[in-house]
Amino acid sequence: MIGQTVKELLLEKQENFLIDGDKVATLLDTHPLTHAFLVLTKVGYTKIPVLNSDDELVGFIGLAQVVDNMLAIDGVDFAQLDGKIVSDVMDSEVASIREFDDVERLFHLAVDHAFIPVTNEKNEFIGIVTRRELFKAINHLIHTIESDYDILKKKNYELVK
């Protein structure tokens, strides 16, 4: 469990955590894979969220999944993508958080995921929290904690302001 003091320091910069949905590269589940190939190549991100027409988060897709579908016996064949759409190849297991969800869960998910999508109570996608922003919060914590708090070493560390 994250202690209250550490939680407060981690959350001091929380207004920077969320990258707003309109700044996040996304694809629709109905987009042709040829379009996904172009978008993923252009944006340069390894993996991006997939939404449906109701703006709900339904999966993730990365360039590797698209290219895997271009492989033919004698090499890469772009035509292999014809007729296929994003939902055919996307990863539908989405780990996401709700707005203002528990910070504990956020850091826990960031161990295995480079970014964590955030949804509202209507399950609509509102943005992502990236490992970069979480590392910035940890950086803030480790540079601040000893100047702002007296740390008494016990069996477990106890922090006294």
> Which residues of the chain form contacts with ligand 4BW (CB under 6 A)?
19, 23-25, 44-48, 114-115, 130-132
Amino acid identity for residue 68 in this structure: D
19 versus 70: smaller Cβ distance to ligand 4BW: 19
Please give the torsion angle defined by the CA atoms of residues 122, 126, 132 and 137, in that order, rounded to the nearest 10 degrees: -70
CB of 31 to ligand 4BW, least distance (A): 15
SS3 76: strand
First to last CA, the chain: 20
Helix (H) or strand (E) holding 147: helix 131-148
Closest CA to 65 of 84, 83, 42: 84
Q: Shortest approach of ligand 4BW to residue 26 CB, angstroms?
A: 7
CB of 124 to ligand 4BW, least distance (A): 17
Nearer to ligand 4BW, 33 or 50 (CB): 50
Task: Give the shortest CB-23-to-ligand 4BW separation in angstroms.
Answer: 5
Judged by beta carbon, residue 33 or residue 134, the one nearer ligand 4BW is 134
